[in-house]
Amino acid sequence: MIVPCIDLMDGKIVQLIQGREKALEVTDPDEVLRRFAGFDEIQVIDLDAALGRGSNDALVRYLCARATCRVGGGVRSAERAEALIEQGAAKAIVGTAAFNESGINKEFLRSLPRDRTIIALDSKGGRIVVKGWRKTTPFTAEEVLKQLEPYCSGFLCTYVDKEGMMQGTDLEWFRRLRAATSLELTAAGGITTMVEVRALISMNVRAALGMAIYTGRLKLDELRAFE
């Protein structure tokens, strides 16, 4: 139920505030993998690929060979999703490409293996944001979940308003999302306290954790108890 997060940029593991300001950087992936030992799955996001400025494929391959990873970042074609799976990803995370100007990009989503696909719904100011959180769509996560269910095995929903800020998350939003879908749901963005973690797990929502565990605000030994 706990999913530790690894974000990649320039060949390093990083944590960003609001997807822009670098808060910390780790150069040794083995150190991070050791810290995350005992968790069923790790979430890996290639930020360079997401922003269209290269990729960290070698590091993705390295991580996937040593842990069960769900991987996202720049998955805008079936070929890219297939490449990530070939690199060892258990599942590919799709965000921006799940949408087009008219709504859901059904043609693209049909080209992906449903059982190996997670759709990311990143929300800021109540609306889904794409392209590295730089473009706002007219859609809300609540209204598209049901329509997206036929194309994926689960959802990764990020509360961007508090991402990386260590100020808590919006539990009510996640309750609404949980009520809107029966598929696996993972919460991310601002989760800071054990109270929030327990609340999410009580809803049957997974917690994707980044900044709070890298800074020691949440203790990995306590979190392993939920596995």
Cα three-residue angle 144-148-153, rounded to 5 degrees: 135
Identify which of 166, 169, 163, 128 has the alpha carbon closest to the alpha carbon of residue 145. Answer: 128
7 is catalytic: yes
161 and 170 Cβ atoms separated by less than 8 Å: yes
Residues 132, 47: Cα–Cα separation, whole Å = 8
Given 122, 161, 170, 221, the catalytic residue: 122
Half-sphere exposure of 99 (CA within 13 A, CB side): 22
Q: Which residues contact 56 (CB under 8 A, 6 or more apart)?
A: 8, 9, 11, 46, 48, 49
Residues 51, 18: Cα–Cα separation, whole Å = 14
Compute the residue count for the chain.
227
Letter for the amino acid at 26? V
Radius of gyration of the chain (CA): 16
37 and 46 Cβ atoms separated by less than 8 Å: no
Residues 29, 183: Cα–Cα separation, whole Å = 31
Given 7, 28, 48, 221, the catalytic residue: 7
122 is catalytic: yes
Letter for the amino acid at 150? P
Query: Among all residues, which ones are annotated catalytic?
Result: 7, 122
